[in-house]
Structure 1
Amino acid sequence: MNHKNIFKIKTEDEFLSTALSVFHHQYANNSVYRAFCQHLNVSPKKVATLHQIPFLPIQFFKEKQILSTTESPQITFTSSGTTGTSTSKHFVTDINLYTQSYHCAFQQFYGPPEDYCILALLPSYLEREGSSLIYMVNNLIEKSNHPKSGFFLNDFENLKDTLEGLKVAKTKTLLIGVSFALLDFSEQYHLELKETIIMETGGMKGRRKEMIRPELHEKLKLGFGVDQIHSEYGMTELLSQAYSTGNGIFACPPWMKVLSRDTEDALTINGFKKTGGLNIIDLANINSCSFIATQDLGKTYADGTFEILGRFDHSDIRGCNLMAL
């Protein structure tokens, strides 16, 4: 397949055509995914729509090597995991697919990274190896080419001074951070940063009590003095990200789509506005698996946007017992 065509998708018809081509490619070249499809008695001859494509449960990335190519991995991204749990591994055989994906998406939603001073507050990610988020943010910081761009591990005082200096200079600024660190910082320093983009990447990582996104955003808006909190939605198993510019409503780049599945029947796709498990099509995952059933709960909308409402508990995805190979 011509990988470059993935990032040239503009219409729904182009997305469907490319998604079906990717499905055929991965069925033929990914032994784990093919066995999963065969277990469900689904073959390429039976698939003509997105709803008919089987979605691989995300936990397979913890148990199997998910590859649709014979090429060797250039880099392996790993999830953080929690104590006593196994981590996901995403074997990436072409890192250019990842860099092209996040650059094109960032450009679509925010414009060139060169227009910003990009600050990152991602302690839990910096403290381990293999984070795809750190890889992306580090590259965006390099692309921004602003002398103040950079990571702040636990140096809150320096971050405060930097933010206030950029505010005075009227510099376009993006602060991206993990939820618990943004909360810790905003509770220590109550700032007024009306023109600064504050972007949370989710996750308390066991550092603070989990809270629903509206509550989190209200606290962050108060602490940073902004009208909206932006969000980034991504994960180790994906090479693409969705973004929210406020109110917790996410939009995807043209090569990514989110569907909702029935919580009682994992093989049935919901209509719009109905809570369900989120299935993600990420065509940038051409060399691993582009069709993933996540453990996130949410709703999808007719305009292609979606929201996250929570996660399935540790009993895993209901109705997916048949998916264990």
Structure 2
Amino acid sequence: MADLQDELQPLPEAGDLPDTAQTAPSAPQPPASSAASALERAKALLAAHPVVDGHSGLPWALRDLPWYDLQLGESSVDSDVVRLREGHVGALLWSLQLPERLAGERAVGATLEQLDLVRSVIAAHPEGLRLARSAGQVIDARNCGRVAVVLGPAGAAALDDSLGILRVLHALGLRVLTLVGASWAGEAGLTRFGEEVVREMNRLGVLADLSGASDATVGRVLALSKTPVLCTRSAARSLRAHPDNLSDALLAELGAAKGLCLVPSSPERTGGGVQDVADHLDHVRAIAGPESVGLSGAHDSGDAPEVAPDYPHLIAELLGRGWPESDIALLTWGNMQRVLRSADFAARAARERRKPSTVRITELDTTDV
């Protein structure tokens, strides 16, 4: 098949952006030739370093559609293969989180149903999508002209407080788990069983997603985890006071631990426009460092952006702000690849030292639950 970028359709020039994404009328406007040059540089960079998008709610959005074709284009959802290629997306995380607050067996069953749907969707679109379970498979998918799909995050409720279920979900392809919605990861932080969950995730190679977790939980996981963590839909709390966004202190801790804050294009979390998202990226990069910032479209997740900045225009905006190309390559592709590789390597080492945990929550959290 042709290279991923061969099928790209022409994108609008910078002057064609929606009014809400333009620079304020009172601000000086860059020359048209300069804006066009930045956009061309952005496209060239993305051709070499495509985006790993940290959060897509597409599986849930597809569940009630009687028929769809993501390969040719699907107007019933926010994203499809055509638009992913237009946006230079080389890989993405498909969320298995449940909008409804299900618990116990219902949460397990609903998550398994989403896993089944995802596998069917990927099988039905072999020319556009490929399931990836590791950093190497993400690269293989890109080299074959496919968009790599990494499964997760799923919600913690999907475990039903069972490490055995965690292992089964990992065997089915799950690679990211959000530590929210469980008794063992709350406002006070991790319980003893919660700490055992994180250790078993490290042993398996399942990444912890801390978006929406309490500050105490974020701090404890950063201290405990042997692999970098993700915040799949978090931005800077000092710029926008959303509960999922991170304080400067937590951003600094995340940077020190080489974790990754995936800044979303979201009206609630960042404002959603090109300049809004770029402001948060600037701030996260300044506090956590260029190795700890990434991108999250947050499409089809109930938090779809009102003004969706396509990635070429967003990267052009960052170039105009003085971002070096090396930092942009980390932002779009390199940082997520590093985190995935770290999880793979740490899991291999942990499996040599540690057997699968059979601990039950009642053995550790009898006073906590």
Fold match, TM over 0.5? Answer: no
- TM-score normalised by L of structure 1: 0.35
Please identify which structure carries the higher strand content.
1
Could you state the TM-score of these two structures normalised by the residue count of structure 2? 0.32
Higher helix share: 2
